[in-house]
């Protein structure tokens, strides 16, 4: 299987997350809330740190039921601050509670948080086709701005971009990985990669996406 560079093959947990969860279409609002909160807790840390603590997070945060999290009071906050299984950052914990309240208000307005997000893309997965590594995009900028306007914290554009890729509402295509894969395909049919232009490479990528990637994402 072709994997993204960040999926450290030395970590079974990371590989399992990449292969079976990351980039899979997700329409369950509770799971979207979980990913949104975990992405916020990741700020300044590695995603592997969050994965290692994920089950503890689920237990501590009532399996990320936004209705429950939104009702957390001071006693619960202090209990979370004493929980060694999670990231004990008071600002992030308070942000999770505040974000649950905003999440519920979005559900009330749009029916589903999922519907709110897809409204930004017209129901389409946004594919980033250049070969520049991104920490944010115009889409994540817009969503981040709107979420913060509604009162969410730890919802900066980099956090939202990571969330959008994981769920996935947008998709970055790793060019170096793609061209390496294309080179092997081209060699297999007896052509030299040097004779294939960048434009031709991208046309092959688009055809591949149409037949392989998009049926999975829809």
Catalytic residue set: 17, 39, 47
**Which structure tokens are listed for 170?**
């947008």
Do residues 32 and 113 make contact, with C-beta atoms less than 8 angstroms apart?
yes
CA–CA distance, 160 with 111 (Å, rounded to integer): 21
Task: Write down how long the chain is.
Answer: 218
List C-alpha distances in Å: 116 to 28, 125, 216: 13, 14, 22
Residue whose tokens read 């390496």: 180
CA–CA distance, 95 with 24 (Å, rounded to integer): 26
List, in sequence order, every residue forming a beta bridge with 127; answer none if it has no partner.
171
Do residues 96 and 37 make contact, with C-beta atoms less than 8 angstroms apart?
yes
CA–CA distance, 216 with 23 (Å, rounded to integer): 10
**Which structure tokens are listed for 70?**
């939104």
CA–CA distance, 83 with 85 (Å, rounded to integer): 5
CA–CA distance, 178 with 185 (Å, rounded to integer): 11
**Which structure tokens are listed for 6?**
């960040």
């Amino acid at each position: 299987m072709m994997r993204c560079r960040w999926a450290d093959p030395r970590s079974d947990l990371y590989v399992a997350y990449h292969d079976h969860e990351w980039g899979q279409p997700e329409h369950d609002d509770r799971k979207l809330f979980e990913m949104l909160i975990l992405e916020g807790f990741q700020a300044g840390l590695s995603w592997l740190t969050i994965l290692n603590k994920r089950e503890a997070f689920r237990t501590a945060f009532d399996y990320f039921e936004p209705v429950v999290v939104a009702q957390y009071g001071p006693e619960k906050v202090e209990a979370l601050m004493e929980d060694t299984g999670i990231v004990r950052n008071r600002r992030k914990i308070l942000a999770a509670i505040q974000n649950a309240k905003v999440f519920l208000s979005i559900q009330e307005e749009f029916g589903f948080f999922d519907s709110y997000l897809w409204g930004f893309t017209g129901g389409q997965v946004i594919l980033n086709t250049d070969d520049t590594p991104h920490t944010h995009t115009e889409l994540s900028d817009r969503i981040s701005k709107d979420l913060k306007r509604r009162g969410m914290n730890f919802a900066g554009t980099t956090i939202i971009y990571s969330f959008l890729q994981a769920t996935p509402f947008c998709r970055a295509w790793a060019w170096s990985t793609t061209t390496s894969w294309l080179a092997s395909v081209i060699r297999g049919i007896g052509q030299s990669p040097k004779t294939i232009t960048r434009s031709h490479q991208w046309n092959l990528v688009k055809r591949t996406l149409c037949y392989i990637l998009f049926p999975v994402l829809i």
